[in-house]
């Protein structure tokens, strides 16, 4: 999917998040809390989500951001969940197979709510669009 970003559709939102990666086959859920989060720039498209790493590198104008592709996921393969108490700025996205989970922490509860709402709406729309399709 990373070979042609146009397949993801229109860019809807982007922002900076702390991200914890949880691989269910390697870690117990309680263990992820010990790991330090990664700072990622997240891009939400109509049909996918892209994770990039930000590095500040010297340039003629001082330090400037450079972005490295880390991960892309099709929305139709994802589920999204609110987290429990004490997690007002966090939400979880996961592959439907449950093997990969990402905990995203926004800068504020309002930003988290906006992203959660937008992703939930996109997933609902895609689910409704796929109901009428027959697969072989």
DSSP string, 5-23: GGGG-SEEEEEEEEEEEEE
Domain for residue 115, yes or no? yes
Residue 2 binned pLDDT confidence (cut-offs 50, 70, 90)? very low
Domain for residue 136, yes or no? no
Domain for residue 135, yes or no? no
* Total number of domains in the chain: 1
Domain for residue 6, yes or no? yes
Domain for residue 134, yes or no? no
Domain for residue 118, yes or no? yes
Which domain CATH number covers 27?
Answer: 2.30.29.30
16 against 134, higher pLDDT: 16
Query: Which pLDDT tens digit goes with each residue over 4-62?
Result: 788 899 999 999 999 988 766 555 555 555 578 899 999 999 999 999 999 988 888 88
Q: Which domain holds residue 120?
A: 1-128
The Cα 85–Cα 76 span in angstroms is 28
Query: Which pLDDT tens digit goes with each residue over 57-77?
Result: 888 888 988 899 999 999 989
Burial of 117 (0-12, 13-18, 19+ CB in 10 A): exposed
């Amino acid at each position: 999917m990373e070979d042609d970003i146009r397949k993801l559709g229109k860019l809807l939102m982007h922002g900076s998040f702390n991200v914890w990666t949880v691989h269910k086959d390697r870690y117990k859920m309680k263990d992820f809390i010990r790991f330090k989060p990664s700072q990622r720039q997240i891009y939400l498209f109509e049909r996918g989500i892209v994770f990039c790493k930000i590095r500040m590198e010297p340039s003629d104008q001082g330090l400037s951001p450079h972005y490295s592709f880390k991960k892309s996921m099709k929305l139709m393969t994802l589920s999204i969940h609110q987290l429990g108490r004490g997690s007002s700025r966090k939400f979880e996205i996961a592959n439907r197979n449950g093997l990969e989970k990402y905990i995203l922490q926004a800068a504020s509860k309002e930003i988290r709510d906006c992203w959660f709402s937008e992703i939930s709406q996109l997933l609902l729309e895609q689910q409704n669009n796929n109901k009428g399709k027959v697969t072989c």
